Structure 1
Amino acid sequence: MINNDFLTKFSQRIFNHLNDNENIFISPQNIMTAMSLVLFGAKRETRKILSEFLGIDDNSKIEEFQKSILNDEVFQSLAAAWFRDNLVFENSYLDFLKRIECKSETLDFSDQKSKDLINEWVEKATNGNIKDLIKSTNENTALVLTSVCNFIGKWNHAFDKKKTKNSKFELSNGKTIETPMMNMKEEFLYAETDEYQMISLYYQSGYYMRIYLPKESKNSFDLEELDNHFAKKAEETKVDLSLPKFKMSKEYDLKEKFAEMGLGNIFSNKADFSGISKDLFVSDIVHKTFVECEEKGTVASAATGVSMALRCCVRMPKEVVFKADHPFIFTINKNNQILFLGKVENPND
């Protein structure tokens, strides 16, 4: 079974680059799904740069990762490759897509209806949570790679709606707002460090949300270090838990972010994706997400679209209090695989 440490490191790097005083919600697993489809066909310097960025290299490992992606009644993940209808693509790449059961379809990208077909597929696959992922296509579009995922998790211990009360939530700037706060007393896996309280709230089928609540707002966040500490020190503990309800939709221009993080090569004329087809470069990467957390459980969706164009254009007390009344970080996971990563800066936003 593939080791998911590379996904944890990838999650941390993206989060660090996005982290500011606003809500964040991304799916590192979903982004990796799409970007590893790109990496499979990268060659020479482009492959070196992209593999170092993603933390995965050998094509057999890429295929192993793709085949290890969770799919069950709680979490579903799909990928699709949309090819330009009059362009020749490498048979080895097409065979790879077949082996990982990636949907493949040819389109006339000069017709804007092609964009609508892709967006309809994404919207349907995410139960309507992600709309209009791809903004446009044109005669230079050669390939669009899309990955989607959908999560519907019911808590093992549901919150009682009657106990949900408006409570104060302190923002990073020191201001306070009123927000619906869910409350319960129950035993949870819990651990803490000098800087963080951590708790795992389990859904059905082994999925869980892990919440990292800083004791001070400016504490640094090291996901791998905190998870290692949790694995060693977490104990079943009676917790007086308060957690805000929250709902957010986010959109990220990852082309801009990834270029800032040193991935400029794949967006330039220097890009080499000859393992897919000749004269390709990445023209756009967009990532859209949705999450709603309430008394019964959590719904989350994500989609990533990678457009490629032709180069013609360029230990604890028996009871503790865990009151998430200020910004916190959370993940949704199974088997140590980070499916979603977020920060609640303002649950009302």
Structure 2
Amino acid sequence: MRNRSTVEIKKLLEPQHQPPAEGQGTEPKHFKKIVILNAEFAFRLYKLIASDPSLQNVIFSPLGISSVFSMLMLGAKNETHRQLFNGLAFNLSDAEENEIHGAFNQVIHTLNQPNNITQMNIGNALFIEESLQLEPKFLNNVKTLYEADGLPISFRNTTAAENKINDYVKNKTNGKIPQAIQGLDENDVMVLLDYVLSKARWRNPFHPIFTKETDFFVDANTTVKVNMVYQKGDYDFLHDEDLSCWVVRVPYDEDYAAWFILPDMGKLKAVENALSRQVFMKWIASIKTDKIHLHIPKFSMSQFHDVKDVLQRLGMKYVFSDEADLSGITGKPNVKVSKAVHKAVLDVHEGGTEAAAAPVMESEFDSDQVPPTPTIKFDRPFIMISGHKPLRHFTVMARVIDPTAK
């Protein structure tokens, strides 16, 4: 692979390389390639995380995890670099490395704009033992390309180190993520951290007057009570006959949307096994817009992942071992990543507590000419995927088995 200079990297970040709104047709080639490859990584990662028998609900950001390890490639060398590149699903013949960094810069910068109506905080940081020193070139590149920080820390006092890291994230997310890490070890040398906070408003908020307590069927033997929001409206939706699931696209404000996937009872595992970029593209091509009765449970979830084991299963082994070559980060050999910590927070609710007018109740009738409006009720385990439409990156993926579990 050809190595480019910092000047060449910065050329990728000039305004003409910003991804245009969907449909303009002027999207740079490298951005489209990276979108496709990153989607492949997202679904591969979902399957690995969801296969953990200790997890019921699942929430994570594929964009957050892929961006922090793409950032690490800036300082990785030799086999460590190759494993990171391939583990992230990038192909040496399909995407130049610096084009990858440029694309991630565009995505992170767009999503983290403070004036965005939709609150999306995606952040990366590298905490390194204070006796080591970060290479100036690496530190400059992670700030420029990933809006990330490289910070010295003493791991000898694990409590103080945890407090410092948690305070850092708490500050970056305005207190929305008060704790991002736990279980540090005094022998840790380098901790990678990424976090995502997703708090979005629906384009058409659900009015609280229609929210009702109802049953949610966790499994054949377990039922819990949830507050279910409701709205009748025009939505993009379909029923996938092959996979036995409903798919509904619910737009947020701005360019975000959430895809809610509701498998038929007992079909969750089959749908999870089939999830792929190709299936998702098929849904996009087949979806139709019509009126439906939509019921979604309110829920709030947060989850902590040490993704070390998952990423090792994707082939990224050296970076966590004594064979790691991260000499581009510290200038020293045999420095490895001790922990790779990921924290995700998701809040789904009516999407507005103030309304300008009372909602209008619509009557429903059946006739030979007018078919009844379908009812899609998310009262059993489902999958949620949210993303930014023009950027076409998945910001959050979640599996909701029990919406009452935090």
Could you tell me the TM-score, scaled by structure 1's length?
Answer: 0.85
- Aligned residue for 2:168, secondary structure, equals helix
Structure 1 partner of 2:258 = 209
1:7 to 38, 44, 53: 38
Tell me the CA shift for residue 244 of structure 1.
0.8
Contact 1:42 1:276 in 2 (8 A): yes
Contact 2:196 2:345 in 1 (8 A): no
1:71 to 109, 112, 116: 112
Distance, in Å, in 2 between the alignment partners of 1:224 and 1:217 is 23
Tell me the CA shift for residue 137 of structure 1.
5.8
Structure 2 partner of 1:240 = 293
Instruction: Identify if the C-alpha distance between structure 1 residues 124 and 173 changes in structure 2 by more than 3 Å, giving closer, same or farther.
Output: farther
Note if 1:250 corresponds to 2:297.
Answer: no
Structure 2 partner of 1:301 = none
Contact 1:327 1:345 in 2 (8 A): yes
Aligned AA (2:40): K
Contact 1:110 1:137 in 2 (8 A): no
- Aligned residue for 1:276, secondary structure, equals helix
Structure 1 partner of 2:210 = 163
Tell me the CA shift for residue 329 of structure 1.
0.3
1:60 to 98, 102, 119: 98
Structure 1, residues 273-297: CA drift from partner, whole Å, max 9, x if none? 1221222111111222222211116
Q: Which runs of 5+ in 2 are unaligned?
A: 1-18, 20-30, 353-370
Distance, in Å, in 2 between the alignment partners of 1:320 and 1:139 is 57
Structure 2 partner of 1:87 = 132
Contact 2:155 2:161 in 1 (8 A): yes
Structure 1 partner of 2:403 = 347
The number of residues matched between the two structures is 330
Instruction: Identify if the C-alpha distance between structure 1 residues 28 and 138 changes in structure 2 by more than 3 Å, giving closer, same or farther.
Output: same
Aligned AA (1:117): K
Structure 1 partner of 2:232 = 185
Tell me the CA shift for residue 172 of structure 1.
3.4
Tell me the CA shift for residue 124 of structure 1.
2.0
The structure with the largest strand share of the pair is: 1
Note if 1:324 corresponds to 2:378.
Answer: yes
Distance, in Å, in 2 between the alignment partners of 1:283 and 1:173 is 41
Distance, in Å, in 2 between the alignment partners of 1:99 and 1:7 is 21
Contact 1:40 1:62 in 2 (8 A): no
Structure 2 partner of 1:259 = 312
Distance, in Å, in 2 between the alignment partners of 1:137 and 1:184 is 45
Choose 104-113 or 233-242, whichever is displaced more: 104-113
Distance, in Å, in 2 between the alignment partners of 1:286 and 1:103 is 15
Alignment of 1:40-189 (within 5 A): 40-56=74-90, 58-68=96-106, 69=108, 70-72=111-113, 73=116, 74=118, 75-100=120-145, 101-112=147-158, 113-135=160-182, 140-189=187-236
Instruction: Identify if the C-alpha distance between structure 1 residues 147 and 254 changes in structure 2 by more than 3 Å, giving closer, same or farther.
Output: closer
- Aligned residue for 2:337, secondary structure, equals strand
Contact 1:125 1:148 in 2 (8 A): no
Distance, in Å, in 2 between the alignment partners of 1:193 and 1:135 is 41
Choose 226-235 or 129-138, whichever is displaced more: 129-138
Contact 1:126 1:148 in 2 (8 A): no
Tell me the CA shift for residue 55 of structure 1.
1.8
Note if 1:289 corresponds to 2:330.
Answer: no
2:394 to 320, 338, 341: 338
Contact 1:83 1:144 in 2 (8 A): yes
CA root-mean-square deviation: 2.4
Structure 2 partner of 1:300 = none
Instruction: Identify if the C-alpha distance between structure 1 residues 140 and 61 changes in structure 2 by more than 3 Å, giving closer, same or farther.
Output: farther
Tell me the CA shift for residue 26 of structure 1.
0.6
Choose 136-145 or 206-215, whichever is displaced more: 136-145
Aligned AA (1:63): H
Distance, in Å, in 1 between the alignment partners of 2:192 and 2:50 is 26
Give the greater-gyration-radius structure (CA). 2
Contact 1:212 1:328 in 2 (8 A): yes
Distance, in Å, in 2 between the alignment partners of 1:245 and 1:138 is 37
Distance, in Å, in 2 between the alignment partners of 1:30 and 1:161 is 32
Contact 2:217 2:223 in 1 (8 A): yes
- Aligned residue for 2:327, secondary structure, equals coil
Choose 83-92 or 223-232, whichever is displaced more: 83-92
Misfit runs of 4+, over 6 Å: none
- Aligned residue for 1:7, secondary structure, equals helix
Q: Which runs of 5+ in 1 are unaligned?
A: 298-316
Could you tell me the TM-score, scaled by structure 2's length?
Answer: 0.74
Structure 1, residues 18-72: CA drift from partner, whole Å, max 9, x if none? 2257111111111112111222222211122221111236430332133122223
Contact 2:191 2:340 in 1 (8 A): no
Aligned AA (2:135): E
Distance, in Å, in 2 between the alignment partners of 1:153 and 1:346 is 21
Contact 2:320 2:338 in 1 (8 A): yes
Contact 1:83 1:107 in 2 (8 A): yes
Distance, in Å, in 1 between the alignment partners of 2:379 and 2:184 is 44
Distance, in Å, in 1 between the alignment partners of 2:220 and 2:66 is 33
Contact 1:85 1:106 in 2 (8 A): yes
